[in-house]
Structure 1
Amino acid sequence: MAKPNVINKRELIHYAKQCLVESGIEKFTLKAVAEKAGVTQGTVYYHFRTKEQILVDIVQDICESSWEEISQVNEGIIKQSLQSAKSRCKEDSFFHKLFFTLMIAGFNNPKIKDHLGDILVNENRALSENLKKVWSKSPVDGVSIDTWGILFNAIIDGLAIQALLNRNFSVDNVYKELEHLFERLSSIQAEEDI
């Protein structure tokens, strides 16, 4: 029996994530979300007009939750950020499959493109703010901390592509070396502060 229209958008996103995990993106429908949540399709359509909209909102929810969790960390914030990114860097990464699928859809859908663009801007900003907690200034003259945030975000997304497409990709090794790179950049920055 369907629940009355007392379910909120956030709860529907939770059920939509469950549907994605259980059925995959290929079989994902708003009808399946309604069934999982025990509500009518009309309730789902009230909150989400299209399948793409709910998928974009799922990506946004995952990103916001991740950054909210990381922003609570006071010590080792970059290491925690890298561990969080590494945990999603897998051959079967639900998040990255969804993100890249939506990115491709965004090439032909300006609303999806704009929404994902906003998510990237927010991720870049969050990375930059976290770097500013660690670095008083950029470790390399002429490269702003904001640009470092964008570069690290691009590296993380690029590593996710590698993991999705290359079964032999060594996530552990690459993330270990990425952490070493960050530590080296931090030590350069610390030396310049002395």
Structure 2
Amino acid sequence: MAKPNVISKKDLIQFAKESLVINGIERFTLRSVAETAGVTQGTIYYHFRTKDQLLLEIVHNVCEETWTEISQQNNQHIISQAIHSAKSRCSHDSFFHKLFFTLIASSLNNDKIRSQLGEIIYKENKALSESLSKLWPESPLEGVTLETWGILMNAVVDGIALQALLQKDFPIEKTYKEVEQLFEGLSQLDREDK
């Protein structure tokens, strides 16, 4: 029996994540979310006009949870926490990254999705830059701003995720270990210069 239409958008996003895990992105529909949540399809449409809008909300929700988790770390653990968080979502079958890259492909022909994804990525870059500023009072390399380091770190993580999706035997553990060493090494450079 369907639950009454009194369900929060936040709860629906959680049910949508469950539906993604259960059904995979290929069979993910607004109807499947309604069935998982035990609500009518009209309830889903009330909160999310389209499947793309719901998928964007899921991506934003996952990113927001990650940014909050990373921003609460103390200076010594920012890099390893960011790397661990990224690695935890990285796999050959990562539904988050399948979703993310599917939305990117969709956004190439949809300005609204492109704009919303751009805003999510901007916020992610900013959160990473702010986290790095806790670790590095100033950039470890002259001429490279902390904003650029945030963008670079985000691009590296997304690039690794894309490669892991495409290559079943991609060396995720080794790659993330070395990325962590790279950023830790930059931190050491910063300390040695002082």
Q: What does residue 81 of structure 1 align with?
A: 82
Q: Is the 8 A contact 2:79 2:184 kept in 1?
A: no
Match for 2:161: what amino acid?
A: A
User: Is 1:104 the equivalent of 2:105?
Assistant: yes
Query: Offset at 1:83?
Result: 0.6
User: Is 1:25 the equivalent of 2:25?
Assistant: yes
Match for 2:107: what amino acid?
A: G
Q: What does residue 187 of structure 1 align with?
A: 188
User: Is 1:50 the equivalent of 2:79?
Assistant: no
Identity level (%)? 59
Superposed, 1:169-188 pairs within 5 Å as 169-188=170-189
Match for 2:147: what amino acid?
A: D
Distance 2:40 2:181 in 1: 51
Q: What does residue 136 of structure 1 align with?
A: 137
Distance 2:57 2:117 in 1: 10
Distance 1:168 1:14 in 2: 30
Q: What does residue 65 of structure 1 align with?
A: 65
Q: How many residues align?
A: 193
Distance 2:186 2:73 in 1: 20
Q: Which runs of 5+ in 1 are unaligned?
A: none
Superposed, 1:156-175 pairs within 5 Å as 156-175=157-176
Query: Offset at 1:168?
Result: 2.0
Match for 2:140: what amino acid?
A: P
Q: What does residue 120 of structure 1 align with?
A: 121
Distance 1:38 1:12 in 2: 10
- Secondary structure at the residue paired with 1:169? coil
- Secondary structure at the residue paired with 1:76? helix
Distance 2:125 2:46 in 1: 31
Distance 2:44 2:165 in 1: 31
Match for 2:23: what amino acid?
A: S
Distance 2:73 2:142 in 1: 28
Q: Deviations over 1:139-178 (max 9, x none)?
A: 1111001000000100000000111111221111111111
Distance 1:108 1:191 in 2: 48
Q: Deviations over 1:118-152 (max 9, x none)?
A: 00000000000000000011111110010000001
Q: What does residue 41 of structure 1 align with?
A: 41
Distance 2:136 2:155 in 1: 19
Distance 2:34 2:184 in 1: 47
TM-score (structure 2 length as normaliser): 0.97
TM-score (structure 1 length as normaliser): 0.97
